[in-house]
Every structure is written in structure tokens, then in C-alpha cells.
Amino acid sequence: MDLSDVLSNVADQDKGRMLEIIDPWTGTKTGMRFWMAGPDSDTQRRARIAMMDELAEAADEHGKVSATSREKARLNMLARCVLRWEIEEDGKAIAMTHKAVVRVLCAGTWIQAQADAFAGDRANFRPEA
């Protein structure tokens, strides 16, 4: 492996990989799918920078950021890592907007947990053969 392999994988991680959301009680596929950017992608790098900016803006005069603001920034960062999706509500596709992604991630902390774990695991973004 050399630097060109690393840079190639970073670019590949910006294409994303598909995460199939699993029902935590039955272990079955829900039909909800996210295409997530990888941890080394430029998309995640920009999302982390945006989160830091959001936290800086939320800081009070003493530099403290409330737990509510930290959680909001974390969710916004995770939502920025979703490149596309297949999500339906009442049998109709939901248009993907940042607000809609945050809403789905907040629908169940188990959805957030799966998306966060997947997006942070480099094993999910191995170079494609």
C-alpha cells in the first residue's frame, strides 16, 4: 500500500456504503436504507468541521456548551454523513433533506446508533476489490 491507495480509499469513502437498518427487536431488515460516507471521507471531515463551528456558536460567554446544543450538533453531524437514502413513511418515499434526515435519526435512538456505528467503522469502507 502506498499513499495513492490511501487517497483512492478516501475518495471511495465519499461514494458511501449502504446501511440496512435492522429492527432491534426482531433482527429483521426494516427496508430503511442509508448510504453513509466513510470515516476518512471528505464528507465526514466537512461534517466534523461544521459540528465544531456549531459548537463554537452555541458556547456561552464562558465557553460552555449545553448538553442540548452538543446533542443537536452531534445529530447534525451524523445527518451530514448521509449521502442518500431509501426511507418511506405511510408507503410514500420521504424526500431527503437535512431536516428530514435529522427527523428520522431522532425517530429512534436505535436508528441513530446503527448509523453512527456504521459510519465510524472503517471495516465497512474497505477498498472494493
The tally of domains found in the chain comes to 1
Asked if residue 25 is part of any domain, the answer here is no
Asked if residue 69 is part of any domain, the answer here is yes
Asked if residue 45 is part of any domain, the answer here is yes
Asked if residue 26 is part of any domain, the answer here is no
Give the residue-averaged pLDDT of 102-112: 95
- So what's the pLDDT on residue 29? 97
- So what's the pLDDT on residue 127? 84
Asked if residue 23 is part of any domain, the answer here is no
Give the residue-averaged pLDDT of 50-69: 97
Cβ burial 19-43 (10 Å sphere, 16+ → b, else e): bebeeeeeeeeeebebebbbbbbeb
- So what's the pLDDT on residue 10? 82
Asked if residue 56 is part of any domain, the answer here is yes
Give the residue-averaged pLDDT of 98-117: 96
pLDDT exceeds 80 at position 129 = no
Give the residue-averaged pLDDT of 27-42: 96
